[in-house]
Amino acid sequence: MAASPDSKVFRATTTAPVNIAVIKYWGKRDAVLNLPTNSSLSVTLSQRSLRTLTTASCASFYPAQDELILNGKPQDIQSSKRTLACLASLRSLRREIEASDSSLPQLSAFPLRIVSENNFPTAAGLASSAAGFAALVRAVADLYQLPQSARDLSRIARQGSGSACRSLMGGYVAWRAGSLEDGSDSLAEEVASQSHWPEMRAVVLVVSAEKKDVPSTEGMQTTVATSNLFATRATTVVPERMDAIETAIQNRDFPAFAEITMRDSNGFHATCLDSWPPIFYMNDVSRAAVRLVHDINRAVGRTVCSYTFDAGPNAVIYYLEKDTELVAGTIKTILGEKSEGWEGPFYEPLKNLTAPGVALDQVDPRTVELLKDGVSRVILTGVGEGPVSVDDHLVNEKGDAIYH
Ligand code: DP6
């Protein structure tokens, strides 16, 4: 028997990926619309390693206020302007299609219940807001059966968290800063698909932070207001790098991609140090990871790996699959079997190797000690696809949240 419209629960579920920028977004030209001072570019990481799973549901009988449950904990949506902005934009698009077709159920009038889960521990210190907002926007857009493209939806996800707009697509993704005041040209675009350059791999070195960092939203405001280096970065340095890295990606030129990535990470952290008061995201262990990458590249005699750091001490090291042994193998030899994370699909090429990688006498001994003591876990991953629609709902047919 079909459920009556009054008792029916409408649902849509999606996964969304994490992305790690190689040209960093740092600075807002409009904090309300969340418009950036410069364009940025990221690699979408495989959801086989890291992903957010989100179900958006709505029903006429739900309590009047929209609900959001993250990793089992109800969130106070009313105090999150960003979430409210995303939901209001999506509802108004649904209202438009309902107005033009009266046979459609009036979902825009129903309260929402959104349930979301990350498959990675919060303790990993990975910013989950990008995957989280991308999944929320994609799931509600699917629930509302909106015709908008991922590019269109990226404008909405941007209001949740800037970097989230890049998680609506797979592969290599640019966020064009745009120049219009209303932000309508500030959106994400796929520069190259995952299949264009599928060999890209990344290992995340999870470094524990002693103290909580300055949150990125606040940190970037301080940098824009106080750093002298910042203006040149936004107006000259980044536009040139965007062109150069897009060419490197089109040509699958890893040495060029790697050098631009490392220089941009260093340049971004230099503007943090140049802020007043200065902001430090990298620590001694992060700097050891920098030295390790340069030591490996020097020992091998070509650029086989590159590092990048976000607003925290974790190192993300990019390399190509063919160099897994040289890069991930060296890291595994340094950290030892006891470190966590050496499993899963991206571990296969390394599994049966004994003493792999470059000889450790090629690496500064202080670097080895710092990494051994300071890196507790690795995450092996690689370039991946964008959000995927799935049937693994986190809300059952009656509308109850399902906790795993
Ligand atoms: C260093 O996207 O978290 O990771 O827009 O204020 O939510 P808000 O900032 P957010 O900043 C990310 C900064 C970064 C660089 C990047 O991902 O491009």
CB-CB neighbours of 3 under 10 Å = 11
- Domain boundary pick from 133, 167, 193: 193
132 and 263 inside one domain: no
Contact 44 CB / ligand 1 (< 6 Å): no
Q: Which pLDDT band, with edges at 50, 70 and 90, does 122 fall under?
A: low
Beta bridge partners of 67: 113
Domain span at 163: 10-193
Contact 275 CB / ligand 1 (< 6 Å): no
Q: Which of 25, 166, 224 to mutate to test the pocket of ligand 1 (most atoms within 8 A of CB)?
A: 25
Q: Is residue 390 part of a domain?
A: no
How far apart, in Å, are the Cα atoms of 379 and each of 20, 49, 188, 240, 360? 13, 7, 26, 31, 22
Q: Is residue 393 part of a domain?
A: no
Q: Is residue 305 part of a domain?
A: yes
**101-126: average pLDDT:** 88
Model pLDDT, residue 194: 98
Q: Which pLDDT band, with edges at 50, 70 and 90, does 73 fall under?
A: very high
Q: Kindly report the length of the chain.
A: 404
In this prediction the pTM is 0.96
Q: Which pLDDT band, with edges at 50, 70 and 90, does 6 fall under?
A: confident
Q: Is residue 4 part of a domain?
A: no
44 and 119 inside one domain: yes
Q: Is residue 119 part of a domain?
A: yes
Pairing status of strand 112-118 against strand 52-58: antiparallel
User: Structure tokens of 170?
Assistant: 């797979």
Mean pLDDT score of the chain? 94
319 three-class SS: strand
Distance in angstroms (rounded) separating the CA atoms of residues 25 and 255:
22
226 and 363 inside one domain: yes
**Which residues, at least 6 apart from 313, have a Cβ–Cβ distance to it below 8 Å?**
125, 207, 208, 209, 281, 282, 283, 285, 286
| Residue tagged 């607003």 (tokens) | 311
149 and 273 inside one domain: no
19 and 99 inside one domain: yes
Q: Is the pLDDT of residue 389 over 60?
A: yes
213 and 183 inside one domain: no
Q: Is the pLDDT of residue 245 over 70?
A: yes
Q: Which pLDDT band, with edges at 50, 70 and 90, does 3 fall under?
A: low
Q: How far apart are the first and last CA of the chain?
A: 29
111 and 249 inside one domain: no
Q: Could you give the number of structural domains in the chain?
A: 2
343 three-class SS: coil
144 and 279 inside one domain: no
Q: Is residue 86 part of a domain?
A: yes
Question: What CATH number does the domain containing 371 carry?
Answer: 3.30.70.890
pLDDT in tens, 136-185: 999 999 999 999 999 999 999 999 999 999 999 999 999 999 999 999 99
Q: Is residue 76 part of a domain?
A: yes
User: Structure tokens of 21?
Assistant: 């920028």
How many angstroms does the Cα of residue 359 sit away from the middle of ligand 1? 37
135 and 215 inside one domain: no
Contact 25 CB / ligand 1 (< 6 Å): yes
Atom of ligand 1 nearest to the CA of 19: 17
Q: Which pLDDT band, with edges at 50, 70 and 90, does 265 fall under?
A: very high
